[in-house]
Amino acid sequence: MAKTALITGCSSGYGRAAAELFLEQGWNVVATMRKPNPDVFGKGSDRLRVIAMDVTDEASISRGVNDGIAAFGTLDVLVNNAGIGHFGPFEAVAAATVRELFETNTFGLMAVAQAVIPHMRERGAGTIVNVSSSVCFAGMPLVSVYAASKFAVEGFSESLAFEMSSVGVRVKLVEPGYGPGTSFQVNSADRMGGAVPPAYQAYAGQLLEVMRNPGLVTTARQVAEGIFAAATDETERLRFPAGPDSEQLAQARWHGSDEEFRAGIRERFRLKPR
């Protein structure tokens, strides 16, 4: 009998790639998005249901989870992928933008997990895969609010993994690397709104120049493969770096001193503290 995964944020990027990979592997997929559009997956499948879910709306989450369970009878895996980005100096970030990032990236993820956990607990089985970011290995410059929202996901997931193991449910973290051209850049630009204070313009310009030639990068398919590996892993492993740049950062963070690692980041971005 085919297993079932519910994946949030499937309209594009990592969520869509993950949904496609699970389908390729013979899984049933409940692909959720704020505005359901089955056309993003091309040819339809009787193993695919596209369902409305806004992770910032409690009623929408409840309907989406219930509809997903009704579609295939059970949920074996939850992939908490929905998220939004931000790039810019913290000094210029509006309080409303801070709240918007946490509402989606952190509180929304927690709310969906809380809605699914009773179903998995009653079954005594299931896996929750929370998508965070490689910024949790390296708090990169000019993404402080985004990083904060994702660091919170890491702490939440590590703690949750211990308590869920008592009822037979696994919790995993997937940490995607930098993917130029993804929806992260698009929605980051929308929230940044061109608001870089003069004191930071040269600094931001230098960082953006480095990011135009990032070297190792991550593709949506690589993230999808990381998500699938986490979803099907039966060990106690918690963290799954996804993409060559994320894997490189993880190894540097885990195997070097904090001073050495931070010096490497400064060198990478040509940063000189005043």
pTM of the model: 0.92
The domains of the chain, with CATH numbers, are 4-268 (3.40.50.720)
Residue 168: what are its φ and ψ, rounded to 5°? 85, 15
Residues labelled as active-site residues: 11, 132, 146, 150
Q: How far apart are CA 222 and CA 212, in angstroms?
A: 20
CA distances, 242 to each of 15, 52, 245 (Å):
14, 27, 8
Tell me the per-residue pLDDT of 82-119, one tens digit each, with 9 for 90 and over.
999 998 999 999 999 999 999 999 999 999 999 999 99
Q: Which residue has the tokens 């699970």?
A: 22
Strands of the sheet with 170-176, listed across from one edge:
48-52, 28-33, 4-7, 77-80, 127-131, 170-176, 239-242
Please report the pLDDT score of residue 274 as a whole number: 67
Q: How far apart are CA 267 and CA 264, in angstroms?
A: 5
At residue 188 the predicted structure's pLDDT band, cuts being 50, 70 and 90, is low
